[in-house]
Amino acid sequence: MTEDPMTRGYPGAGGQSLFDAVYEGEDAVVRLLRAGVPAESTDEDGASALYLAAVSDRPGVVRLLLAAGADPDRACGPEAGDLPICGAACGGHTEVVEALLSAGARPDLREQFGFTALRWAVGLGHAGTARALLAHGADPCLPGPGGEAPLLLAARRGSLETVRALLHHGAGAPDGALEEALGEARRMLDVDLEQEMRGGLLDAYGDTDAHRVSVHRTVVDGGETLVVELARGDGEPFAGQDQQTGHGAIATLLESELGLLAPFEELARRALHSGGPDLDNWQASAQALRERGDEETRQAAAAWCAADDPLRRAFGADVLARLGAQTSPSGD
């Protein structure tokens, strides 16, 4: 019986499969494609070479396979439920997503269980990927499989840049969308994220002395991400969760969209909750107060400058400096 050339990677020159070549690089892929290996090759589990290249963040290989005829919208996997664009979006592989979209991939196509590429990007806080999808026509209001709007999910995730991208493309248009997302951002402000993530991991893997919990925070472009990991006795992490923490900035942005003014102390709480003047929560609160620019705001900032807490004093000084920048040289 002749083997179907669409299965098992279709070994080509030298017996190498296209799936091995994806990891080796573009030259190896070109060699096999020239030897007649189909660009639509699949492995024993039904996964396509294009899907593997997409989830592995290999944009050059993705472009080669697309140019050789691979279908950007072809679902694959054991149950034919995995889409290359969703696999790439899940990993935040923006260049791969853009290559697939340029080749005609439909941004709102749903894979197994109803997930779209935008749902993956928004839910995991990949703002750049979300922007690429939205720029190519992804529906900013299309609910995910649980019926939740992308804006709500972005607010829950704590990614300010993802919220901004969604708003720019009209995610606030449906009635109640802004209010719902604002409510979620405010709720998340009162959640002890580190404790919740610790508890979730220990519930899932067992609260034993064999597991060590590590916590670290990273900052990229003003946004902070909290990472909680479980490690075995040898220190090697085996499970983890991450969560962005820009809920204060998101709440402040959505309030501005709705024409709402948060109390002074609430804005200060959001700023101080972030832990530093270079983070989104601080910057958003300080900017909101600067835009008010009235005497009441000035008095509140002056009072913070006299506080015992050095971080609060720094926030008050920052707000006063921003207010001073609005004053003309004549003092008018």
pLDDT at 269 over 50: yes
- Cα–Cα distance measured from residue 312 to residue 8, given in angstroms and rounded to the nearest whole number: 62
Of all residues in the chain, what percent carry a pLDDT higher than 70? Answer: 93
Identify the pLDDT of residue 306.
97
Q: Catalogue the long-range contacts made by 99-107 (C-beta closer than 8 Å, 24 or more residues apart).
A: 99/59, 99/62, 99/63, 99/66, 100/54, 100/62, 100/66, 100/72, 101/132, 101/133, 101/136, 103/66, 103/72, 104/72, 104/73, 105/72, 105/73, 106/73, 107/133, 107/136, 107/137, 107/138, 107/139
pLDDT of residue 148: 95
pLDDT band at 332 (very low <50, low <70, confident <90, very high): very low
Interval 137-141 mean pLDDT: 98
Low-confidence winner among 83-97, 200-214, 219-233, 269-283 (lowest mean pLDDT): 200-214
- Count how many Cα atoms sit within 13 Å of the Cα of residue 302 in the half-sphere of its side chain: 7
- Beta bridge partners, 223, equal 220
Give the pLDDT of residue 1.
Answer: 31
For the purposes of burial, counting CB atoms within 10 Å of the CB of 3, is it exposed (0-12), middle (13-18) or buried (19 or more)?
A: exposed
Written as one string, the DSSP assignment of 22-69 is HHH-HHHHHHHHHTT--TT-B-TTS-BHHHHHHHTT-HHHHHHHHHTT
User: Using one digit for the tens of pLDDT, what is the confidence trace for 224-255?
Assistant: 999 999 998 778 899 999 999 999 999 999 99
State the CB neighbour count (10 A cutoff) for residue 24.
13
329 confidence band (pLDDT: 50, 70, 90): very low
Residue 198 pLDDT > 50: yes
User: What's the pLDDT at 325?
Assistant: 64
What pTM does this model have? Answer: 0.92
Encoding tokens for residue 307? 């506080």
And the tokens for 104? 């005609």
pLDDT at 273: 87
The residue that leads in pLDDT, 90 or 210, is 90
Lowest average pLDDT, out of 43-52, 122-131, 259-268, 322-331, goes to 322-331
**Phi and psi, residue 313, nearest 5°:** -60, -40
User: pLDDT digits over 31-49, tens only?
Assistant: 999 999 999 999 999 999 9
What percentage of the chain has pLDDT greater than the value 90?
84
Contact 239, 202 (CB under 8 A): no
Q: For residue range 287-304, what is the model confidence (pLDDT) as tens digits?
A: 999 999 999 999 999 999
Cα maximum dimension of the chain: 91
Which residue from 88, 16, 85, 26 is spatially nearest to 55, judged by alpha carbons?
A: 88
State the average pLDDT over residues 186-209: 91
Listed in sequence order, the residues at least 6 apart from 250 whose beta carbon sits closer than 8 Å to its beta carbon are 154, 155, 158, 160, 163, 181, 185
* 3-state per-residue secondary structure call for 166-191: HHHCCCCCCCCHHHHHHHHHHHHHCC
Q: Which domains does the chain have, with CATH numbers?
A: 13-189 (1.25.40.20), 193-244 (no CATH), 274-326 (no CATH)
Helix or strand or coil: residue 226?
A: strand
- pLDDT value for 328: 44
CA distances from 113 to 56, 106, 117, 313 (A): 22, 17, 12, 50
Give the C-alpha distances (Å, rounded to integers) separating 6 from 14, 15, 30, 47, 262.
18, 15, 17, 10, 59
Mean pLDDT of the chain, nearest integer: 92
- What pLDDT, on a 0 to 100 scale, did the predictor assign at position 221? 82
